[in-house]
């Protein structure tokens, strides 16, 4: 007897078990809300960003809408644009057709009223799942269509890759499986509004104002909806088909200025798919996104096809225009079909202050005239499967670790989102910077680049995965240290007068998007960063870290930074008022906890100082050894940022000076600060606060195989007290009646939220009105966990890391991880750089094996 063969099984899900998941369109009951009204709070509908580093990006949320736009370098718009959307038409034999735009939220501006929107999940019914494991994410649709439908989306973010990682492109691969016994016809449509020209500041020279929290800010006003001259062109390029969205004035500029880059905001988009005999591709190049959408939806919802109208009429002033492509096909019972779409964009120029223009890194590979969106998309269609295989090969060893919990694997990858969505810049290469210059904002509220105190922890992801970009950032700081900027300004914290940048002071940051990043540093004016006591030490430690943990062979990098290492430490030593070898804190907030006053010698800054002296001595020894071994051409003849040839005798003199200071400092640190249980906050305030990050210098000393800053047994005793006071007792206090009596609105049955920066031994606040001591800083928690892991406290390290990860990914903070969360369910400073410190844990767990040759 002949048996009927069974239909092929549906393909297994490619979504890793560790990915973060959320039911489509299901809201949050109690999402975190912003602590200060002046800070950004876009709400919890945040999805993984798509786009290469420094290329601009957009984000598609767990509702299915595209709502994050970072196409302008360093600036952003968070606003849903329903016209930029995927839609699905489905019709089975004997069934009525159905069509949905795949967002669970209808347009709220009165547009697209003719469209049918996908039903959201509820507490009783799931209509699908959104999952993310950066740089890949997935939409899976359930219970609405007869077909099983999944969309995987990603960009070529590949470790150690300095080309494709910069590409402005997003790939969407749709997988459609028919589990029924009858054929099903299905159509996938990608509609895209022509937003060329929208993403540049309409305010030519925005006024810098001081926000209520003392931070400088400026207004960013995109040219949202300004589409005059925009049009779309249908292109058939062998098997590749799609639309290029452009502007008539831009084409005229290219013709009139051959070889020149266009102004900021000018360029192209491209939406592209493939055609073959098994599919039917149709298109529409001129529909009205501001109307009811019937001109596009009516045909699609009825037949799954578009009218093939090649209309290149430019939009008139006040008019908006979009393009769309649809791929229609039939899936036989038990079969699966995959359909790729690509969205690419080409906006090669980023303008900062008027006339300060840079070209983006990807232009090194595609040209700078802003007409290469189609070429970028075509490249993606050719290589996207190879790119995905490289991403999978990178992630697999981590995902396959049975001894690591899924929540940890998930957070490792997803926290990397900030390297794309954190306002990142990556410039075209030149002779001085052969891989370009790179920078990420401190956060979206504090919009200045690469805050040095923050990247002390927050740069571990960049270091381990793209070490050449990490070194590029540190070279920029080395160049900035010898510079001076005597621009007067008022300090937001206390209204004192100060100059912007003193010569040889280590800058806090590398500038802001409205000025000239890399050339003008110290943008922040909340504090006078010329007075900070941690920045110089941070610089030295990061230089030596970046050398040592990338193989310990790049003597050229050390030589380039050496002159600034000396300047930074000599400048910082000037704050040693009593001559005991350790610079004193001034009683003002003069370090990374910039609302927290430290007085005299502090555990935090003093420990970093000792570790930095050890690092500088080690650097000097390496440079002198290179001289002695005949490597003078490699090291000794290199120029420092001021163009001075390194002199071995001057290196020896600096080394001797640092050795003398080290001897003094070591004899005083424990004498002044050790109280038998932990290191006191400082030597002059008489505070009994247990500071969580008191031994950051010890962490870095151990990390870099330098001599311990403090005896190991004392470090372990201090960790035990920090764990008990700042984590266990603090979280117990938050749930207690004592906290409620202070007005803290905490959940008495809630889980732990993490380690507080500084509390009394019983977990209570020294000052209930304090800000930074009572916040849980996500990145500091991850950095502390790395230190504890380093010192043998693995269970405690994972306990606190899990607590913070849980708060982020259950509280609607995903893909906008803040600097700080509070027991009251509030946060501060979203999309923050420091949480990339979670990669420090990975480094400790693997002994930074990925960085060693």
Residue 828 is classified by DSSP as E
CA distance 473 to 451: 11
Dihedral angle sign, alpha carbons of residues 324, 329, 334, 337 = negative
Q: What percent of the chain has pLDDT over 70?
A: 96
Q: What is the pLDDT of residue 56?
A: 97
CA distance 168 to 59: 13
pLDDT at residue 5 is higher than 70: no
Render pLDDT for 192-250 as a digit per residue (tens, 0 to 9): 999 999 999 999 889 888 887 777 889 999 999 999 999 999 999 999 999 999 999 99
Band (pLDDT 50/70/90 cuts) for residue 635 is very low
Q: What is the pLDDT of residue 209?
A: 87
Tracing tokens 């003008």 back to the chain, one arrives at 520
CA distance 797 to 785: 4
Q: β-strands 33-34, 826-828: how paired? A: parallel
Tell me the C-alpha to C-alpha distance, in Å, between residue 418 and each of 50, 223, 536: 11, 25, 25
Q: Give yes or no for a contact between 246 and 268, defined as CB atoms under 8 angstroms apart.
A: yes
Tracing tokens 């732990």 back to the chain, one arrives at 752
CA distance 43 to 41: 5
Band (pLDDT 50/70/90 cuts) for residue 638 is low
Render pLDDT for 540-579 as a digit per residue (tens, 0 to 9): 999 999 999 999 999 999 999 999 999 999 999 999 999 9
- Non-local (6+) Cβ contacts of 770 within 8 A are 595, 596
Render pLDDT for 297-352 as a digit per residue (tens, 0 to 9): 999 999 999 999 899 999 999 999 999 999 999 999 999 999 999 999 999 999 99
Q: What is the pLDDT of residue 211?
A: 81
pLDDT at residue 847 is higher than 60: yes
Is residue 844 exposed (0-12), middle (13-18) or buried (19+ Cβ within 10 Å)?
buried
Is residue 480 exposed (0-12), middle (13-18) or buried (19+ Cβ within 10 Å)?
buried
Could you give the 3-state DSSP secondary structure of residue 50? Answer: strand
Q: Give yes or no for a contact between 651 and 621, defined as CB atoms under 8 angstroms apart.
A: no
pTM (predicted TM-score): 0.96
pLDDT at residue 441 is higher than 70: yes
Could you give the 3-state DSSP secondary structure of residue 90? Answer: strand
CA distance 654 to 271: 58
DSSP assignments along 424-471, one per residue: -EEBPP-SS-TT--EE-BS-SSS--B--HHHHHHHTHHHHHH-HHHHH
Average pLDDT over the chain, rounded to whole?
95
Band (pLDDT 50/70/90 cuts) for residue 810 is very high
């Amino acid at each position: 007897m002949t048996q009927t063969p069974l239909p092929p099984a549906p393909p297994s899900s490619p979504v890793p078990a560790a990915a973060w998941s959320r039911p489509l369109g299901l809201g949050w009951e109690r999402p975190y809300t912003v602590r200060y009204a002046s800070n950004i709070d876009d709400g919890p509908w945040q999805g993984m960003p798509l786009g290469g580093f420094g290329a601009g990006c957009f984000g598609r949320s767990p509702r299915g809408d595209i709502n994050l736009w970072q196409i302008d370098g360093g600036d952003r718009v968070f606003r849903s644009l329903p016209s930029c959307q995927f839609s699905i038409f489905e019709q089975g034999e004997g069934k009525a057709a159905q069509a949905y735009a795949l967002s669970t939220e209808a347009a709220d501006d009165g547009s697209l009223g003719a469209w049918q929107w996908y039903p959201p999940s509820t507490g009783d019914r799931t209509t699908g799942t959104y999952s993310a494991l950066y740089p890949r994410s997935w939409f899976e649709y359930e219970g609405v269509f007869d077909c099983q439908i999944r969309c995987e989306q990603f960009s070529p973010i590949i470790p150690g890759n300095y080309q494709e990682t910069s590409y402005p492109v997003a790939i969407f691969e749709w997988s459609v499986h028919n589990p029924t016994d009858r054929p099903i016809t299905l159509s996938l449509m990608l509609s895209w509004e022509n937003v060329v020209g929208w993403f540049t500041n309409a305010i030519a020279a925005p006024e810098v104002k001081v926000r209520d929290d003392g931070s400088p800010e400026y207004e960013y006003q995109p040219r949202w909806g300004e589409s005059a001259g925009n049009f779309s062109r249908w292109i058939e390029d062998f098997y590749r088909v799609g639309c290029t969205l452009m502007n008539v004035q831009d084409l005229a500029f290219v013709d009139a200025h051959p070889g020149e880059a266009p102004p900021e905001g000018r360029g192209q988009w491209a939406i592209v798919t493939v055609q073959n005999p098994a599919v039917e591709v149709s298109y529409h190049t001129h529909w009205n996104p501001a109307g009811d959408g019937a001109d596009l939806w009516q045909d699609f919802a009825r037949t799954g096809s578009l009218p093939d109208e090649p209309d290149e009429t430019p939009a008139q002033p006040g008019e908006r225009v979009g393009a769309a492509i649809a791929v229609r096909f039939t899936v036989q019972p038990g079969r699966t079909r995959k359909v790729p779409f690509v969205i690419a964009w080409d906006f090669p120029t980023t303008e900062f202050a008027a006339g300060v223009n840079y070209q983006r890194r990807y232009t090194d590979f595609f040209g700078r005239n802003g007409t290469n969106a189609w070429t970028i998309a075509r490249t993606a269609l050719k290589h996207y499967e190879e790119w995905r295989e490289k991403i999978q090969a990178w992630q697999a060893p981590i995902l396959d670790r049975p001894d690591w919990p899924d929540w940890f694997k998930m957070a490792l990858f997803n926290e990397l989102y900030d390297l794309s969505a954190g306002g990142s810049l990556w410039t075209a290469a030149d002779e001085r910077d052969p891989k370009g210059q790179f920078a990420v904002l401190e956060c979206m509220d504090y919009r200045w680049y690469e805050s040095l105190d923050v990247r002390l922890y927050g740069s571990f992801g960049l270091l381990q995965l793209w070490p050449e970009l990490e070194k590029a950032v540190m070279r920029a700081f080395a160049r900035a240290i010898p510079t001076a900027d005597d621009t007067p300004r008022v300090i937001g914290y206390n209204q004192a007068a100060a100059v912007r940048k003193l010569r040889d002071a280590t800058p806090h940051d590398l500038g802001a998007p409205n000025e000239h990043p890399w050339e003008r540093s110290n943008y922040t004016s909340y504090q006078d960063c010329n007075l900070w006591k941690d920045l110089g030490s941070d610089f030295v430690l990061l230089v030596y870290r970046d050398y040592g943990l990338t193989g310990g062979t790049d003597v050229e990098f050390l030589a380039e930074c050496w002159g600034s290492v000396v300047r930074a430490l000599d400048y910082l030593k000037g704050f040693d008022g009593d001559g005991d070898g350790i610079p004193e804190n001034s009683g003002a907030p003069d370090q990374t906890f910039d609302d927290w006053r430290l007085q005299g010698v502090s555990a935090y800054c003093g420990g970093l100082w000792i570790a930095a002296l050890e690092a500088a001595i080690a650097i000097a020894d390496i440079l002198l050894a290179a001289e002695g071994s005949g490597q003078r051409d490699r090291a000794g003849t290199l120029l420092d940022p001021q163009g001075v040839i390194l002199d071995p005798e001057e290196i020896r003199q600096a080394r001797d000076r640092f050795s003398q200071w080290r001897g003094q400092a070591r004899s005083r640190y424990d004498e002044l600060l050790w109280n038998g249980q932990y290191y006191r906050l400082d030597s002059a305030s008489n505070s009994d606060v247990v500071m969580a990050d008191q031994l950051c210098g010890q962490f870095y000393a151990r990390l870099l195989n330098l001599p311990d800053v403090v005896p190991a047994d004392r470090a372990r005793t201090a960790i035990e007290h920090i764990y008990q006071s700042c984590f266990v007792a603090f979280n117990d206090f938050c749930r207690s009646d004592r906290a409620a009596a202070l007005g803290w609105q905490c959940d008495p049955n809630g889980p732990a939220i993490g380690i507080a920066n500084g509390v009394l031994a019983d977990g209570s606040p020294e000052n209930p009105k304090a800000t930074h001591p009572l916040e849980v800083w996500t990145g500091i928690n991850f950095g502390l966990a790395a230190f504890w892991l380093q010192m043998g406290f693995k269970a405690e390290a994972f306990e606190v890391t899990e607590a913070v990860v849980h708060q982020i990914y259950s509280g609607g903070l995903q893909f906008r991880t803040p600097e700080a969360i509070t027991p009251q369910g509030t946060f501060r400073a979203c999309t923050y750089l420091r949480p990339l410190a979670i990669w420090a844990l990975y480094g400790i767990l693997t002994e930074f094996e990925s960085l060693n040759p």
